[in-house]
């Protein structure tokens, strides 16, 4: 797509905007530091009035809060090109208002030059576009209602994406602390057999939590899930062990040896099973028996009792002996806004149905109060002769794999505002034979590094979190450190990073990448590689 399509260039003297006194004005970061774009660092009162958001909600939020989500990635791609032109650019896009209303506006965007001549920020103006009134003779109430509903649904999706991105980032920070302490405990308890077993089970649960965090970030970025042909055996065994451990619930598994594999995303199907088994355990707070079974079932064109269309299916049954679901409630349990739990949000079973249907399957429920509930998940069986993927190990704590001796006795500056993560990281560095020092903000990191240059014990490597409080983010800190010492070694870490797209971050000048939560061996290898570069 050309720049003219995503954001059209214009001369300064031919501004398409209306009077700026009536325009919303925002300033955003030059770089996208979240999956939903650059953060807003300034907004005026008119922006607050137009969007319906308080200034306190706007400032610090990503641009995707108010910029049409489906067009956001195209704008982000064009930011470097916009930064290189002396002209401003403009585009007509919706302003996403608080509550889901979309307001047609004209945006202008121009770079704000820093003292060094680089684009430090972008300034955007927002001016409403006058829309011709709709002729009642050519419109209907029904059409208007559908339009409003569509906007509300899109707004809910975008709000969920915003929440998921932030939750995934914070969740992965928490996982980093858990992962580090579990790994240290497991390595220190090799001779305590039972304790080591408990830690191994915790590590499996940690692996599941990591998978969920990856899924949340993939959702915010609009990524399609990975697909393969896989057996349900591994997922069923894992979920039965994890969800019933310590709950007083006994699990009986009945798995047909000839159960056919299915095609799709094994992580998403595991998420479905996880939700169903957790619900079943919660329905039996005093303990009981949970039945898990997997078998094949085929339907021809004749009507069947489950109302499932013709085809070959692999069926999963999750059956509890709990309190049951009242008859009048049962038809609503898959609704996204319905929940029977005091602190519930209704997304659990709704997400199960969405995932199963996306895989071409169907999910059914039957229940009787005082007797129990059974969920049936019908997934299309993979074609005969399909190659079945081998499941990866889910333990989040791996044995060291580096054969070369890692470097030791490095002075490492840990730039991290989360105290739990910083403390756990320091423990891990000490275990590896290094000497950590902590800075909680970008400004403190710069001062600490500058002071160390003239000290007897200078800092060797900076371990830099990319999302920091205050005015400086990770990129800003890197820039300032390079001015102080062009040879500084900086490793970037973040809960927003994923395993794959590290090249783009590396191109911006970092000496290494660590996606949270990272294992001790990954830290050791990255430190060694960065020190040797």
The predicted-structure confidence for 136-149, as pLDDT tens digits, reads as follows 444 333 333 333 33
Read off the DSSP letter of residue 398.
Answer: P
> 3-131 has which CATH code?
3.30.450.20
Q: Using 50, 70 and 90 to split pLDDT, how confident is the model at 486?
A: very high
Angstrom distances, CA of residue 225 to CA of 75, 134, 154, 162, 355: 24, 41, 20, 19, 11
For residue 520, what pLDDT is reported? 85
Separation of alpha carbons 155 and 163, rounded Å = 12
Q: Using 50, 70 and 90 to split pLDDT, how confident is the model at 159?
A: very low
Inter-residue contact 488 to 464 (CB < 8 Å):
no
Instruction: Say if residue 505's pLDDT is above 60.
Output: no
- Average pLDDT of the segment spanning 296-324: 92
CA 260 to chain centre: 32
Instruction: Say if residue 111's pLDDT is above 60.
Output: yes
- Average pLDDT of the segment spanning 22-45: 83
Instruction: Say if residue 343's pLDDT is above 80.
Output: no
Q: Using 50, 70 and 90 to split pLDDT, how confident is the model at 379?
A: very high
Instruction: Say if residue 150's pLDDT is above 50.
Output: no
Range among 41-45, 258-262, 334-338, 527-531 rated most confident: 258-262
For residue 341, what pLDDT is reported? 53
Separation of alpha carbons 11 and 319, rounded Å = 67
Q: Which residues of 122-133 are buried (b: 16+ CB within 10 A; e: fewer)?
A: bebbbbeeeeee
For residue 504, what pLDDT is reported? 47
For residue 365, what pLDDT is reported? 93
Angstrom distances, CA of residue 39 to CA of 104, 471, 489: 22, 11, 26
Instruction: Say if residue 116's pLDDT is above 70.
Output: no
Supply the DSSP string of 52-101, one letter for each residue: ---HHHHTTSBGGGTB-HHHHHHHHHHHHHHHT-SSEEEEEEEEE-TTS-
Write down the architecture of domain 232-380 according to CATH: 2-Layer Sandwich (3.30)
Inter-residue contact 255 to 236 (CB < 8 Å):
yes
Write down the architecture of domain 411-532 according to CATH: 3-Layer(aba) Sandwich (3.40)
Instruction: Say if residue 394's pLDDT is above 50.
Output: no
Q: Which of residues 45 and 470 earns the better pLDDT score?
A: 45
- Average pLDDT of the segment spanning 479-489: 92
Instruction: Say if residue 345's pLDDT is above 90.
Output: no
Separation of alpha carbons 273 and 314, rounded Å = 14
- Average pLDDT of the segment spanning 300-323: 92
Supply the DSSP string of 183-233, one letter for each residue: HHHHHTTTT-HHHHHHHHHHHHHHHHHHHHHHHHHHHHHTPPPP-EEE-SH
69-73, 485-489, 498-502: the lowest-pLDDT one: 498-502
Range among 150-164, 233-247, 322-336, 446-460 rated most confident: 446-460
Instruction: Say if residue 7's pLDDT is above 70.
Output: no
Instruction: Say if residue 20's pLDDT is above 70.
Output: no
Q: Do domains 3-131 and 232-380 have the same CATH topology?
A: no
Q: Which of residues 374 and 76 earns the better pLDDT score?
A: 374
Inter-residue contact 277 to 247 (CB < 8 Å):
no
Which residues are within 8 A (CB) of 227 and not within 5 positions of it... i.e. 6 or more apart? 263, 264, 265
- Average pLDDT of the segment spanning 82-107: 83
Question: Beta strand pairing status for 411-415 and 435-439?
Answer: parallel
If you average pLDDT over every residue of the chain, what do you get?
Answer: 76
Instruction: Say if residue 168's pLDDT is above 60.
Output: no
Give the long-range contacts of residues 51-55, CB within 8 A, separation 24 or more.
51/24, 51/95, 51/96, 51/97, 51/98, 52/97, 52/98, 52/99, 52/101, 53/97, 53/98
User: pLDDT tens for residues 23-34?
Assistant: 899 999 887 776
Q: Which of residues 150 and 80 earns the better pLDDT score?
A: 80
Instruction: Say if residue 417's pLDDT is above 80.
Output: yes
Residue 298 burial by Cβ neighbours in a 10 Å radius (0-12, 13-18, 19+): exposed
Q: Where are the domains of the chain?
A: 3-131, 232-380, 411-532
For residue 290, what pLDDT is reported? 92
Q: Which of residues 71 and 2 earns the better pLDDT score?
A: 71
Instruction: Say if residue 95's pLDDT is above 50.
Output: yes
Please calculate the CA angle 18-20-26 and round it to the nearest 5 degrees. 115
- Average pLDDT of the segment spanning 95-108: 86
Task: Assess whether the previous peptide bond of 517 is cis (omega < 30° from 0).
Answer: yes
């Amino acid at each position: 797509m050309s720049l003219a399509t995503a954001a059209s260039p214009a001369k300064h003297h031919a501004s398409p905007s209306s009077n700026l006194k009536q325009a919303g004005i925002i300033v955003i970061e030059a770089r996208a530091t979240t999956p939903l774009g650059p953060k807003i660092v300034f907004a005026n009162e008119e922006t607050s009035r137009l969007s319906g958001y308080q200034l306190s909600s706007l400032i610090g939020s990503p641009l995707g809060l108010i910029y049409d989500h489906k067009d956001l990635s195209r704008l982000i791609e064009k930011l470097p090109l916009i930064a290189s032109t002396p002209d401003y650019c403009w585009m007509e896009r919706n302003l996403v208002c608080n509550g889901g209303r979309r307001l047609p506006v004209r945006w202008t965007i121009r770079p704000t030059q820093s003292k060094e001549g680089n684009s430090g920020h972008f300034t955007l103006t927002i001016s409403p576009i006058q829309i011709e009134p709709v002729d009642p003779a050519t419109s209907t109430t029904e059409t208007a209602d559908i339009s409003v509903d569509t906007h509300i649904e899109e707004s809910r999706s975008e709000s969920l994406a915003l929440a998921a991105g932030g939750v995934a980032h914070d969740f992965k920070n928490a996982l980093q602390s858990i992962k580090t302490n579990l790994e240290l405990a497991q390595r220190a308890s090799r001779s305590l057999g039972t304790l080591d077993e408990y830690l191994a089970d915790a590590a499996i649960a940690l692996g599941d939590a990591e998978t969920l965090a990856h899924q949340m970030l993939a959702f915010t970025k609009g990524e399609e899930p990975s697909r393969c042909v896989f057996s349900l055996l591994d997922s069923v065994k894992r979920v039965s062990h994890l969800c019933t451990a310590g709950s007083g619930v006994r699990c009986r598994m009945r798995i047909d040896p000839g159960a056919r594999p299915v095609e799709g995303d094994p992580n998403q199907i595991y998420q479905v099973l996880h939700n169903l088994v957790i619900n079943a355990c919660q329905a039996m707070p005093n303990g009981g028996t949970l039945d898990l079974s997997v078998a094949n079932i085929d339907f021809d064109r004749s009507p069947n009792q489950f109302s499932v269309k013709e085809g070959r299916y692999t069926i999963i049954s999750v059956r509890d002996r709990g309190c049951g679901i009242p008859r009048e409630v049962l038809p609503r349990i898959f609704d996204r806004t319905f929940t029977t739990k005091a602190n519930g949000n209704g997304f659990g079973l709704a997400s199960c149905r969405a995932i199963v249907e996306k895989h071409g399957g169907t999910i059914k429920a039957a229940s009787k109060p005082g007797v129990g509930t059974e969920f049936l998940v019908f997934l299309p069986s993979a074609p005969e002769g399909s190659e079945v993927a081998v499941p990866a190990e889910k333990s989040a704590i791996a044995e060291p794999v580096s054969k070369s001796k890692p470097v030791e006795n490095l002075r490492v500056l840990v730039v991290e505002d989360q105290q739990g993560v910083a403390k756990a990281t320091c423990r891990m560095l000490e275990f590896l034979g290094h000497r950590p020092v902590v800075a909680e903000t970008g400004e403190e990191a710069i001062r600490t590094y500058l002071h160390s240059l003239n000290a007897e014990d200078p800092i060797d490597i900076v371990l830099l979190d990319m999302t920091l409080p205050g005015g400086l983010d990770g990129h800003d800190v890197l820039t300032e450190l390079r001015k102080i010492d062009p040879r500084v070694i900086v490793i970037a870490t973040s809960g927003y990073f994923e395993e794959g797209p590290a090249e783009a971050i590396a191109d911006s000048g970092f000496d290494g990448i660590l996606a949270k939560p990272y294992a001790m061996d990954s830290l050791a290898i990255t430190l060694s590689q960065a020190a040797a570069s």
